[in-house]
Structure 1
Amino acid sequence: MEAKITSEQCKMARAGLGLGVRELAELAKVSTNTVTRFERGEELKPRTIDALQSALESAGVEFIPENGGGAGVRMKR
Structure 2
Amino acid sequence: MLLIARQIKAARALLGWEQYDLANRSGVAISTIRRLEGFKDRPLCAHIETLTKIRRAFEAAGIEFLENPGPGVRLCAQPMIDP
Q: TM-score, normalised by structure 1?
A: 0.87
5+ residue gaps, structure 1: none
CA drift of 1:37 comes to 0.7
Match of 1:54 in 2: 56
Match 1:9 to one of 1, 7, 10: 7
Cα offsets for 1:19-43 (capped at 9, x unmatched): 0000000100011101111111162
Cα offsets for 1:8-59 (capped at 9, x unmatched): 1011000110000000001000111011111111621111011101101111
**Identity %, equivalent residues:** 34
Kept after mapping to 2: 8 A contact 1:61/1:74: yes
Match of 2:65 in 1: 63
Match of 2:81 in 1: none
Aligned ranges 1:19-58 → 2 under 5 Å = 19-41=17-39, 43-58=45-60
Kept after mapping to 2: 8 A contact 1:4/1:50: no
CA drift of 1:6 comes to 1.4
5+ residue gaps, structure 2: 78-83
List 4+ stretches of structure 1 deviating above 2 A.
Answer: none
Structure 2: which amino acid aligns with 1:73? V
Q: Distance in 2 between matches of 1:59 and 1:35?
A: 17
Kept after mapping to 2: 8 A contact 1:63/1:73: yes
What RMSD over aligned residues (CA atoms) do the two structures have, in Å? 1.1
